[in-house]
Amino acid sequence: MKKLSLFLGCIVPNRYPGIEKATKLCLQKLNIDAADLPGASCCPAPGIFKSFDKATWLALASRNIVLSEKLERDILTVCNGCYGSLADANLELKKDPELKACTNRCLKEIGMEFKGTVEVRHIIEYLYKEFGPEKLKEHVTIPLDLKVALHYGCHLIKPSKDRKLGETEAPVFFDELVEATGAKSVDYTDKMMCCGAGGGVRSGHAAESLEMLENKLACIRQAGVDCIVNACPFCHLQFDRGQLAVNEKFGTDYSIPVLHYTQLLGLALGVTPYELGIEQNAVQNIEFLAKIYEINAGLR
């Protein structure tokens, strides 16, 4: 397997450092060679920059890619948005010589050049293709007795012609990785619906964003799960801090724990909930925390 550089994006280091710690601990336990990517900037966000100024989007995204090219490492992301932006830019520049030349004229001003020598990987896509559920099970030391509501998110699976991860309307690859930890991925209504955060909706249309989230949370609660699992810090932010906003707006009492997949996997690999930063979330469900600490201690 090729060596990797870890692209953290914006939200992880600024809002959820526990996801960064969880990711690095998982990579270490799985013997994956991943190094930090010094000098990395925002990806930039695909739903905003790409829509309004494609040339700027390509210049900013390609600069991050070139940083990894210099290290001769593929880029590993833990965010659907970062994956969408970097993977799409990387593919467009590799396929279109004119775009590549135009972008390189911009990069030349800062002494850089996009060559197209690396790939952009998402942690879920990478684990599924390079390990697979069965091989991942071999590393599990604490099978998790948890019921999970899985959220795929948008950019992980679309555009499907480029992602090549199978069925897009009813995918299973992420579910299989969840169940490799021993947890049960529970089906629920509107599972593939957007969380309401992306494309500037959370920032520009807060009311509609919360309505979408409330609908999703209602379906998840009805499924009777222990927690929500995602693979995107922005979705994570929406489900976590968004629950507080939903409760305030609609008078609800949601308190559904939210985990990034690396935190769930970390639990299965024997890492403590404290080390994984699970207690840093805005939503603090005491019963859930007690349960995962008991699982970690071998009491369940």
Domain(s) labelled CATH 1.20.1050.140 in the chain stretch across: 4-123
pLDDT tens-digit readout, 243-292: 999 999 999 999 999 999 999 999 999 999 999 999 999 999 999 999 99
The span from the CA of 196 to the CA of 92, in Å, is 27
Residue entry with tokens 């209602």: 218
pLDDT of 192 > 90? The answer is: yes
Give the residue-averaged pLDDT of 162-180.
Answer: 85
pLDDT tens-digit readout, 45-93: 877 777 678 999 999 999 999 999 999 999 999 999 999 999 999 999 9
Q: Based on C-alpha coordinates, what's the Rg of the chain?
A: 19
Domain(s) labelled CATH 3.40.50.11810 in the chain stretch across: 140-296
Q: Which CATH architecture has domain 140-296?
A: 3-Layer(aba) Sandwich (3.40)
What is the structure's pLDDT at 232? 96
Neighbours of 166 (CB within 10 A): 12
pLDDT of 202 > 80? The answer is: no
pLDDT of 203 > 80? The answer is: no
pLDDT tens-digit readout, 134-149: 999 999 999 999 999 9
Cis omega (within 30 of 0) for bond into 17: no
What is the structure's pLDDT at 157? 80
pLDDT of 103 > 70? The answer is: yes
pTM for the predicted model, two decimal places = 0.96
pLDDT of 150 > 90? The answer is: yes
> Which position has the higher pLDDT, 115 or 197?
115
Confidence of residue 160 (pLDDT cuts 50, 70, 90): low
Give the residue-averaged pLDDT of 234-245.
Answer: 96
The three-state secondary structure class of 52 is: helix
Give the residue-averaged pLDDT of 5-21.
Answer: 96
- Average pLDDT of the chain to the nearest whole number: 94
The span from the CA of 7 to the CA of 62, in Å, is 13
Q: Using alpha carbons, select from 278, 164, 161, 196 the residue that is nearest to residue 229.
A: 278
The span from the CA of 287 to the CA of 192, in Å, is 27
The three-state secondary structure class of 165 is: coil
Query: Domain 4-123: which topology?
Result: Glutathione S-transferase Yfyf (Class Pi); Chain A, domain 2 (1.20.1050)
pLDDT of 200 > 80? The answer is: no
pLDDT tens-digit readout, 21-48: 999 999 999 999 999 999 999 999 877 7
pLDDT exceeding 70 applies to what percent of the chain?
Answer: 96
Distances (CA, A) of 48 to 204, 278, 296: 11, 30, 41
